[in-house]
Amino acid sequence: MDFNLSEEELEFKQMAREFAEKRLYPQAEEMDEKAETPKELIKECGELGYLGFTVPEEYGGMGFSSTAFAGVLEEFSAACAGFGILLSVHCSLCCEIINLFGNDDIKKKYLPPMATGEKIGSYCLTEPNAGTDLVSISSTAENKGDYYLLNGTKTFVTNGGLASVFIIFAKTNPDEGHRGLSCFVVDSNLDGISIGKPEKKCGIKASDTREISFVDVKVPKENLLGEEGNGFRMAVTILNSGRIGVSFQAIGIAQSALNETIKYSKERKQFGKPLAAFQALQFKMADMATRIDASRLLAYRAAQLKDAGKPCHRETSMSKLFCSQTANFVANEAVQIHGGYGYMKEYAVERYFRDARVTEIYEGTSEAHRMVISKDLLKD
Amino acid sequence: MLQKIHHEYREKIRAFALEKIEPLAKSIDEEQRFPTEQLKPLAEMGLMSMVIPEEYGGEPIDTISYSIAVEELSRVCGSTGITIAAHNSLGAFPILKFGNNDQKMKYLPRAARGELIAFGLTEPEAGSDAGGTKSIAIRDGDDWIINGSKCFITSASHAMATIATARTSDNPKEKDITSFILEKGWEGYSVGKKENKMGLRGSDTASLHFDDLRVSDEYLLGKIGEGFKQMLITLDGGRISIGAMALGLAQGALDCALKYAADRKQFGKPIVANQAIQHKLADMATEIEAARLMIYDCSERKDAGIRFSRYSAMCKLYASEVGRRAAHSSMEILSGIGYYTGPYPVERIWRDVKLCEIGEGTSEIQRLVIARDLLASLKKV
């Protein structure tokens, strides 16, 4: 099944798979154990164009569609989900928001170095007291004429320790709800920014997650992205990209977990026959594969709608909700079929199980997506 | 079902667990360290000798109380839960049940004082198929020479002795499997590398290797050829304790989610004010209660001497799945912060509880045990 992908899109998926096989699979276990991504790997991805995959060519990128990028994300995440999210946050959130809402000056300044990977982006939206509830964001950006004075704390910041560019959401008018929210492109070397220690996580350990605080950071006025008060609308628009990104991350994890399980079930013998000969396990694998196929269809539909510029909130939410549940279902069954070995770190399914868990949590929890979907169903 | 003594016992164990076990739970997971310093207080509480009669230095309690103890320990620390469950059900129990008086006198008082006994059944090639054991014991005069490897053995590095199965014939049939008590420190007995596990990282899991290990008949447990049957009987009881462990972990996950949901505010109200969260909590609590009843019911059957293997498989199967779902829901309620290692116990619980669906028989094996028993009852009618 090709999900109506163009030849070019399939080709990129194949190239990404080859890169993943050569560079990601062999070190994914070590990246998890050490909880870091080698800088070299980021550099290589930059040189190959993956970090600017969806950035327009005029700004130094490859100019490809979200649908083409989806295949890359899936293949990278299949090998190392922690690396997949680095790429997704950098491309789908950071590059994309600058490209969609920035003026020419800001695009010229930031997109070319981001497209090559010289600068990595980090997306600072969530706060300790503002998770699903974005309107409660309490970071502030006070308009001082030539600059904005930024104060606040952001949490769960992916790429926090690697990034040179922070996309930061803060209230320019704290008295207004979502209309008071604005978005800024902030250089990480400005005075007053402090970056916390890497957070210890259950999975996607190769990905760098931090808390970032801002105390009286002077952000030049030209680094306001779009217009004052437009931050909420921008955040909501860009959520579609993030959800598609996590959908394909989840599909990648699930596919790898299934592949490992099929392989293991043919090799491992108990009671004088391979596990694959037991009907209960055959049916488990059938369910795993069916859910993965359904996930791919939902996710590619979402990506294609987005590329076509059509409204797709409901579809991206459905995709993210379902794909993340699939990844958890599949990874759990994969561990189960591996038995004791599945609980040990020598076997990749142990990592897939931990990695899959986050896909139901970030880029909106499953509950947040059910809110989006049901709101859309019940409108009017 | 529950008597006043059970409620009082739970309070006693809960207080002990909060004071002595819970404070170490986070660090032993992070450092992947087996807390030997806990063994003495655990023994003093009688938790190392729950199945050992007084004449062998134990403080025997009924099986419901035993389940309560494992539940309350696991509620704060899964690693301690499995160490205790394995020691009592899989280490001390078979010696008591199948050992001769000399063996009981030799090992049970030490076990009661806090020296661990391990259970060496699983092998690299014999997991669910425990009858496929490759370890072999060959007669040499009056002795046996044992060769083989065991894997995923709980408390392997710290146990004073292991009850290990080996084939006593070339003919690989279940009736040719025999159990031996093998002591750490004997020539030919070595502990392999520590396993790097997803969870229960404060419990000691390693492989054991027997190389030309010479042992006399004194260390044969029960009779030649009874090993497989002994193991099945042992696992029947052990499964209750793994069910209790999963139950405790599930309760710990619910404790954590409930408190967080009441404290955490989003959209100007505590998240527990949302119906979706309330219903999630309700489902968790309902499933936990059902699992608890199954475990206590099975515990009563065991003490009443009624055949209970179907019921121990059922309570282990159900409680371990409830445990996974409860941990999953709890992490869902905590969301981002729940995925972090450290700030809340739920991330650890989520990793720990997965083992309950695998250890002492995977869920698939429990279903096999249950189905076989169902079919056997059909034939009787």
User: Within a 10 A sphere around the Cβ of A191, how many other Cβ atoms?
Assistant: 8
What is the chain A residue with the closest CA to B361? A339
Could you give the dihedral angle defined by the CA atoms of residues A292, A298, A299 and A304, in that order, rounded to the nearest 10 degrees?
140
The reply to whether B213 and B232 lie within a common domain is: no
Least confident range from A8-17, A50-59, B294-303: namely A8-17
Please report, for chain A, the start and end positions of each structural domain, with discontinuous segments joined by +: 7-119, 122-229, 232-378
How do beta strands A165-171 and A121-124 pair? parallel
b/e string for A98-129 if b means 16 or more Cβ within 10 A? bbebbeeebbebbbbbbbbbebbbbbbbbbee
Q: Does the beta carbon of A271 lie under 8 angstroms from any beta carbon of chain B?
A: yes
pLDDT (tens digit per residue) in A117-140: 999 999 999 999 988 888 899 999
Whether the per-residue pLDDT at A363 is higher than 90: the answer is yes
CA distance A126 to B19: 36
How do beta strands A273-274 and B117-120 pair? unpaired
What is the chain A residue with the closest CA to B200? A343
A201 interaction partners in chain B (CB closer than 8 Å): 339-341, 347
| pLDDT for res A2 | 56
The reply to whether B316 and B199 lie within a common domain is: no
Residues of B belonging to the active site: 360
Q: Which CATH architecture has domain A7-119?
A: Orthogonal Bundle (1.10)
The reply to whether B139 and B181 lie within a common domain is: yes
| pLDDT for res A132 | 83
Q: Residue B335: which of A281, A353, A365 has the nearest Cβ?
A: A365
| pLDDT for res A177 | 86
Q: Does the beta carbon of A342 lie under 8 angstroms from any beta carbon of chain B?
A: yes
pLDDT (tens digit per residue) in A191-220: 999 999 999 999 999 999 999 999 999 999
Q: Note which residues in 285-304 of chain A have CB less than 8 A from chain B.
A: none
| pLDDT for res B155 | 97
Fold of domain A122-229: Butyryl-CoA Dehydrogenase, subunit A; domain 2 (2.40.110)
From A38's Cα to the closest Cα of chain B, the distance in A is 22
| pLDDT for res A183 | 98
Q: Which of B335, B357, B365 to mutate to test the interface with A (most CBs of A within 10 A)?
A: B335
b/e string for A215-249 if b means 16 or more Cβ within 10 A? eebebeeebbbbebbbbbbbbeebbbbbbbbbbbb
The reply to whether B271 and B299 lie within a common domain is: yes
Domain at B294, CATH number? 1.20.140.10
pLDDT (tens digit per residue) in A278-329: 999 999 999 999 999 999 999 999 999 999 999 999 999 999 999 999 999 9
A257 and A352 Cβ atoms separated by less than 8 Å: yes
Which of B84, B115, B146 represents a domain boundary (last residue)?
B115
Q: How far apart are the first and last CA of chain A?
A: 37
Beta-bridge mates of residue A140: A151, A171
From A276's Cα to the closest Cα of chain B, the distance in A is 14
ipTM for the whole complex: 0.93
The reply to whether B210 and B339 lie within a common domain is: no
CA B221 to chain CA mean position, Å: 21
B76 and B21 Cβ atoms separated by less than 8 Å: yes
Domain at B34, CATH number? 1.10.540.10
* Cβ within 8 Å, pair B340-A201: yes
Whether the per-residue pLDDT at A3 is higher than 80: the answer is no
Residues of chain B with confidence (pLDDT) below 50: none
A356 interaction partners in chain B (CB closer than 8 Å): none
Domain at B191, CATH number? 2.40.110.10
Give the domain range for residue B276. Answer: 228-380
What is the chain B residue with the closest CA to A366? B332
The CATH number of A232-378 is which of 1.20.140.10, 3.40.50.9100, 3.40.50.300, 3.40.50.20? 1.20.140.10
A99 and A111 Cβ atoms separated by less than 8 Å: yes
A84 and A249 Cβ atoms separated by less than 8 Å: yes
CA distance A281 to A269: 13
The reply to whether B261 and B210 lie within a common domain is: no
Which of B94, B115, B136 represents a domain boundary (last residue)?
B115
Q: Which of B107, B69, B71 is nearest to B91 (CA)?
A: B107
A217 and A190 Cβ atoms separated by less than 8 Å: yes
User: Within a 10 A sphere around the Cβ of A193, how many other Cβ atoms?
Assistant: 17
Residues of A belonging to the active site: 363
A340 and B199 Cβ atoms separated by less than 8 Å: no
* Cβ within 8 Å, pair B125-A269: yes
Find all residues with CB under 8 Å of A247, minimum gap 6, and list them. Answer: A70, A295, A298, A299, A302, A316, A319, A320, A323, A324
Q: What integer best gives the mean pLDDT of chain A? A: 96
What is the chain A residue with the closest CA to B174? A271
The reply to whether B268 and B372 lie within a common domain is: yes
Q: Does the beta carbon of A132 lie under 8 angstroms from any beta carbon of chain B?
A: yes
Taking CA atoms, B64 is separated from B83, B111, B290, B356, B361, in Å, by 18, 21, 15, 19, 21
A241 and A87 Cβ atoms separated by less than 8 Å: no
Taking CA atoms, A100 is separated from A96, A111, A125, A238, A311, in Å, by 6, 11, 17, 9, 15
Q: Residue A345: which of B196, B266, B363 has the nearest Cβ?
A: B196
CA distance B158 to B37: 12
B338 interaction partners in chain A (CB closer than 8 Å): 361
Which of B209, B225, B241 represents a domain boundary (last residue)?
B225
The reply to whether B360 and B247 lie within a common domain is: yes
Count of structural domains within chain B:
3
From B123's Cα to the closest Cα of chain A, the distance in A is 11
